[in-house]
Chains A and B, each alone.
Chain A
Amino acid sequence: MSIDAAAAATTPPGTTAAVQADGLTLRYGRKAALDGVTLTLGPGVTGLLGPNGAGKTTLLRILATALAPDTGSLRVLGHDPLTGPGRLAVRRRLGYLPQDPGFHPGFTAFEFVDYVAILKELTHRGDRHAEVRRVLSTVGLDDQRRTRIRALSGGMRQRVALAAALVGDPDLLILDEPTVGLDPQQRMRFRELFADLGEDRAVLLSTHQTEDVMSLCRQVVVIDQGTVRFTGTPAALAALADGRVWTSATREPRALASWRTGTGLHRHVGDPPPGAELLPPTIEDGYLMLVDLHGAS
């Protein structure tokens, strides 16, 4: 699916796109972290997939106004974050969860979120504390409000950071690998939460979990080596591997990916031999095809 067609399909007519990026580039020295990224994101949950070092975090940092691109144009929530007033307008409606959120470990969960709320200009003490209680309740941390962050588990810390991102009920949520390090039960809770949040705002999350994308994203973007490789629905990503996933009793060295499954049979992704027993593709198959095809080109 072409990028523009996918963008048109995911941004309902008459609504303002949450993000419109055109030709974003950013270099770290000689290395191009982003190389001409063009992207349009509508409401709902969008998943950003890509291998390590593909440029996902750099892209999210640019969209979150933490970094300015070298070149390219950008509109976030209708504002230009490359100008001072535009950047401030975006920041007032943005929730951002960094890849590795830092904490003042001596703070309680409440104190930390309260601190972030102050950074978000909630200066009235009563209103601010009510908002802090609301977001901690949203992420299910009612009973841990007064617990020091150093005493919380990794999953709970992640929830504290998410609560901080939710302060002020932002219109755009940018979440960098929010489910990393979580156990399956915690991931399920996060999925439920993201699905709820995505009902009335734009949520962009990067992840390595293709199940997360399949189960909750309305749009998926695949990025590799600083460029967008795919934009479309999760089903369209899976469809890239239509007719290119098959099973057999032996390993297939010519396949792009081939592994022995728990049933004892081998599963292959690539160009199947004539008469192969085809399998329905998953989103992961589509993703592997895309990244591997690129790597082979």
Chain B
Amino acid sequence: MRQRNIGTWHLHDEDLHAYAEGGLAGPLLWSAEAHLGACAACRDRLTTAAEPRLLDDGWARVDAALDAPVPGLVERLLLRLGVPDHTARLLAATPALRLSWLVAIALTLAMTAAVARLADPLVFLAAAPLLPLLGVAVSFGPGIDPTYEIALVAPIRSFRLLLLRCAAVVSANAVLCALASLGLPDEGIGAAGWFLPSLALTVLTLLLAPRFGTVAAACAVGAGWVGLVVAAAGSLFTAAGQAGTAVAAVLAALLLARRASAFDTARLFPRITTRRTR
């Protein structure tokens, strides 16, 4: 491939054309690239050797790289965990996964754990299951998600979108709650008593969402939970209470699976209202 020329060398025409068309391989390719980086004369020859189509393709690739969305912190984390890029994009648009939201939840949990340590662990166990409900409430629905109406009529199933977002919200909350539980070492495994109620309350909220909307459903379920804690705090966080919570979560999940199509249109929502951003 080398053509000696008064003390230096230049790429052979044949290799230059092969390089321009992307047909050069192996050591020859590396050598050609290293040489082109240092030799202006060969770069000029490459410009004339390359077809305009190839140059256009190159510019298109540069353009595409500049256009490509820059993933934020949450999205990068999801990509690292192996979540496909399109799913990570959908999740990145979830308000309850924004950094400011997660910081607020973390601070709330830290305060709750501190209060629980000083006063009564029940404060933490009762409050922690309510936090994912807040996330679920702002994850989907008219007046909540600015692109709700566009998403509703898109081929992607609204139920799938909602489940994806809720799974992400519940997971993020679970990690934060688990970290906060470490602040209650005296409780042992009992400090994880928030987990099953979290699941049950989230699924119940989803079950009621098509009828009342996510915000009203979350408020109703949250109020019900608070009432239950006040009425039966002693038995809720026992083994029997946890088993009962698990059964409730499973039953609600089975019912929810049967109601998936209720999320397909807005007929059951009180009314579509979209946020004006203009």
Contact = CB atoms under 8 A, between A and B. Distances in A.
A118 B151 CA distance: 10
Contacts of B93: 104, 107, 115
A129 B64 contact: yes
A125 B278 contact: no
A181 interface: yes
Nearest to B161: A119
Interface residues of B, number: 37
Q: Which residue, B90, B155, B161, B275, has most C-beta atoms of chain A within 10 A? A: B155
Contacts of B153: 64-66, 91, 94, 96
Interface string A137-160: 000000001100000001001000
Interface stretch (B12-20, B65-73, B120-128, B193-201): B65-73
A99 B148 CA distance: 13
B101 to A, nearest CB: 13
A99 B142 CA distance: 14
Nearest to B268: A68
B147 A102 contact: yes
A291 interface: no
Main secondary structure of the interface of A (DSSP, over half): mixed
Nearest to B149: A98
A99 B278 CA distance: 12
Contacts of A119: 90, 147, 150-151, 154-156, 161
A182 B145 CA distance: 25
Nearest to A63: B153
A102 B149 contact: yes
B86 A123 contact: yes
B267 A67 contact: yes
Nearest to A165: B150
A68 B269 CA distance: 11
Interface in B207-237: none
Interface string A157-174: 100000010000000000
A128 B64 CA distance: 11
B272 A116 contact: no
A102 B155 contact: no
B272 A61 contact: yes
A88 interface: yes
A181 B152 CA distance: 25
B51 interface: no
A133 interface: yes
Contact of A123 (B84, B149, B265, B266): B84
A196 to B, nearest CB: 23
B155 A121 contact: yes
18 contacts: A66-B266, A67-B272, A84-B264, A91-B154, A94-B153, A96-B153, A100-B278, A102-B275, A103-B277, A104-B147, A111-B69, A115-B89, A120-B155, A123-B84, A125-B86, A129-B64, A130-B64, A154-B278
